[in-house]
Amino acid sequence: MGIVYEKIMAMQVAPVVQTFGPKDCMLYALGVGLGHDPMNEDELAFVYEKNLKVLPTMATVLGYGGSWAREAGIDQVRVVNGEQGFTLHRPLQTGGTLIGQTRILEVVDKGVGKGALIFSERRITDKASGELVATVSQTAFCRGDGGFGGPPRSAPTPTHPIPGRAPDFTCDLSTRPEAALIYRLSGDYNPLHAEPAFARAAGFERPILHGLATFGVSGHALLKTLCGYDPNRLISFGCRFSAPVFPGETIRTEMWRDGSIVSFRARVVERDVIAINNGRAEVR
């Protein structure tokens, strides 16, 4: 089918109403690796209902509806997450009903064989009060959809620079072999992360970990290292995805702190490959 530029830019994405509760919060935390050590009470607070805390990175899976991507004609086999970010306007609660409203900001045609970029933004509001809870940004890299005749980008996307000095902090967190199978239960059912045949068709030797799961692991690393596991201290978090991670690998998050701004990147320890780059977070 393919992308039709005028159609996708004119899309009115239907709002998504989502009711969630403590079980969803705990499942998300398990999906990004918390609870590996049942004796670690800092992590237990996110995966056990007593005095439950919510990971800030859970904002990325709230109020999301992916059907618009299929309606836009995107090749679902070859689409991957290019960039992701969020800003929290208030701490996430352990439950409630939220409304997610997505809008397409820009579509860039990189050319035949080079893919396309779709920039979108999702505003998440509390249904009861109308209060803005979070703003989530995303860039989808549609590897199979270049050359549809859309405009190229007039200027490169600005990226947050990583300091030239050695990291101020590092944090290694392992992922479980079944991590993608747990994480997908938070709403991303793309078979790329579950079916070996589908992964091979997409050009990977085996199912890969969701980019947003890697994102969540790095968020955990920052929360652990710089926020004392206090989710209220993380205001915003965003990055660019640069390489896939396979479930079972170890993710080393490297962090540089300059006042309230934290620069970060994530490296796959076993292969010495940078999976997340140009990360920027703001902490209280």
The letter for the amino acid at 3 is: I
Q: How long, in residues, is the chain?
A: 284
Residue 211 appears among annotated catalytic residues: yes
Active-site hit among 24, 109, 145, 188: 188
Look up residue 47 and give its amino acid.
V
Which of 8, 118, 124, 208 is the catalytic position? 208
Residue 200 near residue 208 (C-beta atoms within 8 A): no
DSSP collapsed to 3 states, the chain: CCCCHHHHHCCCCCCEEEEECHHHHHHHHHHCCCCCCCCCHHHHHHHCCCCCCCCHHHHHHCCCCCHHHHHCCCCCCCEEEEEEEEEECCCCCCCEEEEEEEEEEEEEECCCCCCEEEEEEEEEEECCCCCEEEEEEEEEEECCCCCCCCCCCCCCCCCCCCCCCCCCEEEEEECCCCHHHHHHHHCCCCHHHCCHHHHHHCCCCCCCCCHHHHHHHHHHHHHHHHCCCCHHHEEEEEEEECCCCCCCCEEEEEEEEECCEEEEEEEECCCCEEEEEEEEEEEC
Instruction: Tell me how far apart the alpha carbons of residues 121 and 105 are, in angstroms, rounded to a whole number.
Output: 7
- Catalytic choice (211, 216, 238, 279): 211
Q: Decide if 208 is catalytic.
A: yes
Catalytic-role residue among 193, 219, 251, 276: 193
Active-site amino acid positions = 188, 193, 208, 211
